[in-house]
A and B are shown apart, each in its own frame.
Chain A
């Protein structure tokens, strides 16, 4: 505890000897951010970072701008790097937790907040946020107990994003580490979240099935789809067409779908499938493996149980 408190003291002293030019740049960026001008704010910060690539204050501010912009993946990267380079700072952990929580990743949020508190045991914001995360985890556990679909409950994220490092009023620089490294900014990620696209494909697949629209349903299967019994594609398609046309009505609904990205172009989706027709009612656990292809996301594997 003592050593981390001492280090924080050192940080506070370092803040006092800020480089004026950089401070101006960051102050300007801060103002732009407050005014909601994210793009311009980011330009300013990037300019500051071009001069001092490892400056924690500038990187921290960049993380906040990216978070507010919704560039979640990049923001996570910025804050994660900060926790690696300056593990004694509680704020980057806190902000990471806020982002994880907003994605519904409460277990990761919990871990990040516990680390934040470990670095700075009296850090009130992290405690408050941790309380909210525990409440959220509790709510998820209750949902499982009562079999309520918690994926629909658009959880409003009350967690507090911290805007300043060690509560300093003006953005200022920390002492630079001995070996400065040049970091190239990464290219901006695609604007659309791929897991949302996959989710859309899953819903479309279930809807086509429910509509008894065999053509639309089969169109969700990639050319390289592995048929379950290894039978020829044409045979499998015929079986599926028969199964889809036989009942008078079909309703397929999905419970708790979960998308896991395996790289950028492959995704695994697991869910509970509730199938109901006038002939049969069944519930099963299902896994669909999607790959990105020209026309969107297509199924290459389908497993039950």
Chain B
């Protein structure tokens, strides 16, 4: 029994009222810590009655029953010879779920990645792979505000997908590109699926390949899967996927996947946002001024366009086009700025570009990747978004 109590020595704050299965599992562990084992067994029995496929709950129930027969040696004290990774998967799930409950970020903490959401983006999803957690942020006048968070399963071979079939989850800034309802999928995907745009422009530039990275549910015979067991997809319990489904907007909702979320405060975000917004505004006004050299100074020597044009070709083309204009007007609106995880000072900026000139006008959604070189922000990629 002592071992069970020791392994459960994760004391976290009292579970919130609207009890999810995870909250209820926390309640079971709290009862174990308090040495109220009969209550713990009752709670886990009730949890299993409501969620008969919650395997982790069965494991805890096994421990609580076995503890009545003999002292436990470990958490998940399975006597039978079974492949070790199967028990390990459940142990890891227990730790991931309990840690996430204990280390819930404070209300004033925000992820460093979401510098600005544009008004139509109702939510942003941010994945913390170390914690096996997906955080849902609401859009509070452009600033992220934590709404809720869920346990997730990620790639069995870890993070930073580079190759097809490497069974890793990509790290980067993506967005939801589709909504596949349950009835169009096999049971394996559970309640539904939301594909994301891996490989994005940056992945392609780095030569990364593979496809079919989705957020999706679980088969009907399980409640959840171990933390590292997907082929690279982000997998959620079916009820969790369904709640996320209520937040997701196809083509709009960002999905930022990080190794470990860097948390910061609103003031720091605002400083970074303002600096980059200044650079973007300067780019806009320099383009409009038809001083082509000043406009081109915003582009990095490592720049490449969506079509693969390098800086020289891009500059030559822009000089030619701009020289033929008598006037240019550029409007920028609905700006979103999302910092890229793992990279230093690297931000994906998306906006509506309203271009008018004496000979041509067009309105488009544009995406640029900005990178800080020395003290200045430079554009390293540009294309339609």
Contact = CB atoms under 8 A, between A and B. Distances in A.
Nearest to B52: A144
Interface string B160-203: 00000000000000000000000000110000000000000000
A139 B80 contact: yes
Interface in B48-90: 55-56, 58-59, 61-66, 68-70, 76-80, 82, 86-87, 90
Interface string B224-247: 000000000000000000000000
Contacts of B56: 145
Contacts of B70: 131, 135
A116 B307 CA distance: 81
B78 A135 contact: no
Nearest to A137: B65
Contact of B58 (A142, A282, A284): A142
A145 B58 CA distance: 5
Interface in A119-149: 130-132, 134-135, 137-148
A144 B80 contact: no
Contacts of B86: 146
B69 A146 contact: no
A134 B65 CA distance: 5
B82 A146 contact: yes
Contacts of B77: 138
B66 A138 contact: yes
Interface in A263-282: 272, 282
A98 to B, nearest CB: 16
A141 B80 contact: no
B142 interface: no
A134 B63 CA distance: 10
Nearest to B66: A138
Given A145-B59, A283-B219, A131 B187 contact: no
A135 B79 CA distance: 10
A143 B82 CA distance: 10
A283 B187 CA distance: 8
A138 to B, nearest CB: 4
A145 B68 contact: no
A272 B221 contact: yes
A272 B221 CA distance: 9
A132 B69 CA distance: 7
A143 B62 CA distance: 9
B225 to A, nearest CB: 12
A266 to B, nearest CB: 25
A141 to B, nearest CB: 4
Nearest to A147: B55
Given A131-B68, A131-B70, A137-B65, A142 B187 contact: no
Contacts, number: 70
Contact of A141 (B59, B68, B219, B220): B59
Interface in A137-192: 137-148
Chain A interface extent, by class: 20 to 34
Contacts of B69: 131-132, 134-135, 138
Contact of A134 (B68, B219, B220): B68
Interface string A277-305: 00000111100000000000000000000
Contacts of B76: 142, 145
A141 B65 contact: yes
B219 A142 contact: no
A148 B80 contact: yes
Given A139-B80, A283-B187, A144 B65 contact: no
A285 B219 CA distance: 12
Contacts of A143: 80
A138 B62 contact: yes
B221 A142 contact: no
Contact of A145 (B62, B186, B221): B62
Contacts of B187: 282-284
A130 B79 CA distance: 18
Contacts of B220: 283, 285
A142 B87 CA distance: 9
B221 A141 contact: no
A141 B69 CA distance: 14
A106 to B, nearest CB: 9
Nearest to A106: B65
A138 B65 CA distance: 5
Nearest to B87: A146
Given A134-B68, A283-B221, A141 B62 contact: yes
A142 B68 contact: no
The CB with the most chain A CB atoms within 10 A, among B64, B66, B86, is that of B66
Contacts of B82: 146, 148
B221 A146 contact: no
A147 B70 CA distance: 23
Nearest to A281: B186
A148 B59 CA distance: 12
The CB with the most chain B CB atoms within 10 A, among A131, A132, A147, is that of A147
A27 B154 CA distance: 69
The CB with the most chain B CB atoms within 10 A, among A134, A143, A145, A282, is that of A145
Contacts of B68: 130-131, 134
Contacts of A137: 65
Interface of A: 130-132, 134-135, 137-148, 272, 282-285
Given A132-B69, A145-B58, 5 more contacts: A138-B62, A145-B90, A146-B86, A146-B90, A283-B219
9 contacts: A135-B65, A135-B66, A140-B62, A141-B59, A145-B55, A145-B76, A148-B80, A272-B221, A282-B186
The 9 closest A-B pairs by CB, nearest first: A141-B62, A138-B66, A145-B59, A145-B58, A138-B65, A144-B58, A135-B69, A142-B62, A134-B69
Interface of B: 55-56, 58-59, 61-66, 68-70, 76-80, 82, 86-87, 90, 186-187, 219-221
